[in-house]
Amino acid sequence: MSDDAKTRTPAIEGWFRMDEADPALLGTRCTRCKTYYFPKESSFCRNPRCSGSEFEEVPLSRRGKLWSFTNNCYAPPLPYVAPDPFEPYAIAAVELAEEQMVVLGQVVKGVGVEDLKAGMEMELVLGTLYEDDDKEYVVWNWRPVA
């Protein structure tokens, strides 16, 4: 790395733990019915049989099973910030056992749909979504467990 390495900053505040060694999605959990939410719900519980309105922030499981996957072969429109030339990337839908929910995420660079298979174990890592002159904007990625 050169001295002018860019600052890494989350592309969105509060959605994940910005810890390269131990990242995690940050959700909330209703203190009454224990339902998980990602992105965070912090006003009223969306379980129609729960009147809860208090939530605790919780890190979600870092590992899950691949439910399905696909990719973008063409650059999405704004507000996606696409590199030029565009590089295709995969998107994974991963089932978290503890939370009993499926969460989407981009797959790490270098892993394509040909490397993926439903049921594979996936883990959460951090990756660069886009960059400008000063900063690298970071987002969560899914990566097959080696």
Partner 1 sequence: MADEVAVLGVGMHPWGKWGRNFVEYGVAAARDALADAGLEWSDVQFVAGGDTMRNGYPGYVAAATFAQALGWNGAQVASAYGACATGAQAVATARAQILAGLCDVALVVGADAAPKGFFAPTGGDRPDDPDWLRFHLLGATNPIYFGLYARRRMEAFGATELDFAKVKVKNSQHGYTNPNARYKKTFTIDDVFASPMVSDPLRLLQICATSDGGAAIVLSSMEYARKRTTDPVRVAAVSTVTPQFPQTIIEMPNFSTDSAVSEPIPDTPFKDSIAQVAYEQAGLGPEDLSLAEVYDLSSALELDWYENIGLCNPGDAEKLLNDGDTTIGGRIPVNPSGGLGCFGEAVPAQAIAQVCEVTWHLRGDAGDRQVEGANVGLTINQGLFGHGSSVILKK
CA atoms within 13 A on the CB side of 77: 0
Distance of CA 18 to the CA centre of its chain: 12
Under the rule (CB under 8 A), what is the footprint of partner 1? Answer: 11-12, 15, 30, 33-39, 46-50, 67-82, 89, 91, 93, 99-106, 113, 117-119, 129, 139
Nearest approach in angstroms of CB 20 to partner 1 is 18
Residue 130 and residue 84: Cα distance in Å, rounded?
A: 11
Nearest approach in angstroms of CB 36 to partner 1 is 4
Residue 89 and residue 61: Cα distance in Å, rounded?
A: 23
Nearest residue (CB) to partner 1, 80 versus 121? 80
Name beta bridge partners: 56: 29
Nearest residue (CB) to partner 1, 19 versus 98? 98
Nearest residue (CB) to partner 1, 1 versus 52? 52
Nearest approach in angstroms of CB 5 to partner 1 is 23
* Residue carrying the six token digits 């797959």: 107
